Structure 1
Amino acid sequence: MENKPAALLNAVPPYGHVIASEKWRETTLIHNLKGGGVKILFESELSLTDFHLPNKSCILYVSECDIVAGNNYKRKLVRYRNASSSFQGLVLVERTRLSEQFFSAVQKFVVFDLGLTLLPVSGQTEASQLIAQIVHSGSRENPFRRSSSSQLLDPLVLAVVQQVPGVGRIKALALLQNFSSLQQLSSATISELEPVVGPAAARHIHSFFHKHAAAGT
């Protein structure tokens, strides 16, 4: 039985649908998705992930309670990363007043230690908006790869890039025009960053990525 949920990571729902773990059935998130025209397919044995999307993305949701209570979420994240290698692994993390003090540690673990994409959300309402945005885009492309045809998904990418301290919306937009992924951005040299955001911000961004990379070694 332990291997069956991992196998379900190969399931891709039809466009306009989301496969959701049964535990989400009576939640605000599901209610909002249905209200937004998203069709839900519930799966009782979806234990390694919370949602599967039609663009071959899967989502693990880390709640405020998971973070504050230390609910073994790190172990679950590692299992999720290992099982979702053929999918775009996305982690939604509740960033609230209570969880804020732990957020930087969660961010480092998810992004730098595990190499997953993290998006902070204020709660289930915002999470439902992000999920619906992906589902309704109808794009078969990776939503976290720069594309002129995926403008609806740009806010997701912007949200990730703006997690770098000192990078606001304007600089994030400029960076995305020159670096198509977080991997490219994190490996960019100061001289490559300077023409995009200026010398001071370039040093700040480079220091941020390399400091966390060194801490993870």
Structure 2
Amino acid sequence: MTTKANLPATAGSIVVPYGHVIGNEKWRGSEIAQRLQGKVRLIFEDGLGLVDFHLSNRTCILLISEADLVAGDEFKRRLVKFRNASSLRGIVIVEKTQISEQYYSGVQKLVVLELGMVLLPVANQGEASQLIIQLVREQSRDRGANPFVRKQRSQLAEPAALRAVQHIPGVGKTKALLLLQHFGSIHRLCNAPVSELEQVVGQTAAQQIYTFLHS
């Protein structure tokens, strides 16, 4: 259900309950909003500024659409402003299509190497919504969980997650499956140390993955 709500905001950040997503008003009526409805508790706010979607645990989504990539450099300025002004953990989802693919390497360099943010490519807004839903579910499952207990449930049923991981340099379908099976979520994969990555894919690939995910 999509509603308007006045949630508490302090120091420029919004407190988001687990299982909820706070969406920027500009996305109301969009395909991604329609696909999120019924899967998560989606609430729209018109004061999110640079952020497109707020998740719990100070995580937020900045969505770069195909139209944003083709239109010019405005999205780059938005990303830099966010990174310079915010203490939130930003995850960038970018639409990588046949039209926008020529711009992708530039976005990758800016987001990952220069800004040190996580970049997840998707084919369309449908895949973007799947990734957001997965991230919300991961956060809800991880809430209060013992970090030393490895969850056996894997995310292999999530095709959007599998495709996103395959875009990491040095990772094909086989390694993507192994990584998702081992870590169980995109969040854990992004936060994994090199030593743990090496246990799954070996030293060379582990270093490539770590370098890609961190500045």
| TM superposition score normalised by structure 1 | 0.71
Moved more, 63-72 or 157-166: 157-166
Give the Cα–Cα distance (whole angstroms) in 1 for the partners of residues 108 and 52 of structure 2. 19
Aligned position for 1:164: 168
Identity %: 44
State yes or no: 1:107 paired with 2:108.
yes
Give the Cα–Cα distance (whole angstroms) in 2 for the partners of residues 32 and 181 of structure 1. 25
CA-CA distance at 1:133 after TM superposition: 1.9
| TM superposition score normalised by structure 2 | 0.72
Q: CA RMSD in A?
A: 3.7
Q: 1:197 to 1:131 in 2, by over 3 A?
A: closer
**AA at the equivalent of 2:171:** V
Which whole-Å deviations, capped at 9, do the CAs of 1:43-64 have from their partners, x for residues lacking one? 1111110010124310000011
Aligned 8 A contact 2:92 2:117 in 1: yes
State yes or no: 1:91 paired with 2:92.
yes
Give the Cα–Cα distance (whole angstroms) in 2 for the partners of residues 146 and 43 of structure 1. 37
State yes or no: 1:53 paired with 2:49.
no
CA-CA distance at 1:19 after TM superposition: 0.6
Give the Cα–Cα distance (whole angstroms) in 2 for the partners of residues 19 and 95 of structure 1. 24
Q: 1:70 to 1:44 in 2, by over 3 A?
A: same
Aligned 8 A contact 1:133 1:152 in 2: no
Q: 1:206 to 1:170 in 2, by over 3 A?
A: same
Give the Cα–Cα distance (whole angstroms) in 2 for the partners of residues 159 and 150 of structure 1. 21
Gapped runs of 5+ residues in structure 1? Answer: none
Gapped runs of 5+ residues in structure 2? Answer: 1-8
Q: 1:6 to 1:91 in 2, by over 3 A?
A: farther
Aligned length: 196
Give the Cα–Cα distance (whole angstroms) in 2 for the partners of residues 64 and 128 of structure 1. 15
State yes or no: 1:33 paired with 2:63.
no
Which whole-Å deviations, capped at 9, do the CAs of 1:87-137 have from their partners, x for residues lacking one? 321001000010111111111111111110011111111111111222234
Kindly indicate which of the two structures has a greater share of residues assigned to helix.
1
